[in-house]
Structures are given as structure tokens and as C-alpha cells.
Amino acid sequence: MSTAKQSIKPLGGRILLKRVEEKEQIKGGIIIPDSAKEKPQEAEVIALGTGKKTDDGKVIAFEVKAGDRVLISKYGGTEVKLGDETFIIVNEDDILGVVA
């Protein structure tokens, strides 16, 4: 994942995430194709932007840090493909909470 940090640097109040894939459980021998699976809402914070600025120019610190596992809104963010890995860039507001 160090390649993503070097290649994609989010700007402003944006955060670079990588979805945490859930372990696939096959029940009754039925395999669900990837296209029919829901996207996981849990992700790992890879990189942070420079921070959101207020109207008077002060930078607001992020409430998350690199390495945190977070819950994101189901359809929030923009998917970015780098090599064979897919990342998501979201605004801090799209993060619902930190997984403890």
C-alpha cells in the first residue's frame, strides 16, 4: 500500500481509503458472484489530505488518522483504481464512525 501513498495524495478535507474485504462465507454450496455482492462499508484510512479550511483560513484537524478502520456511507466517495488495487477518496463528512 505504500505505492498508493506515494501516488495519490488527497487534497483539502479528503481522505484516501481502502475497503476492508469481508471474508466470504459459502452457505449451502451457493457462491455469490462479485457483481451481486454489496460493497463493504468498512475501510482502512490510507492517507489524509491537508485538512479542511474555515472561512478565516484556519485548518481543521482530522478526527481520524492513517491506519484507523472506519465505517463509510454506502454510496459515498469516488473510486480510484491504481494498478490492481481500488481505493476510495471521500470527504471527512462521509465517514460515519471509527471501528474500535
Helices (H) and strands (E) in the chain, counts: 1, 8
Between 90 and 6, name the one with better pLDDT: 90
Q: Residues 32-80: pLDDT tens digits?
A: 665 555 666 899 999 999 998 889 989 998 999 999 999 998 888 899 9
- Domain-by-domain residue ranges, the chain? 2-22+34-98
Consecutive H or E run containing 89? strand 85-91
Q: How many Cβ atoms are within 10 Å of 78's Cβ, its own excluded? A: 10
Extract the C-alpha cell encoding 2: 505504500
pLDDT band at 5 (very low <50, low <70, confident <90, very high): very low
Collapse the DSSP code of 7 into the 3-class scheme (helix H, G, I; strand E, B; otherwise coil) and give the result: helix
pLDDT at 21 over 80: no
pLDDT at 28 over 70: no
For domain 2-22+34-98, give the fold.
Answer: 10 Kd Chaperonin, Protein Cpn10; Chain O (2.30.33)
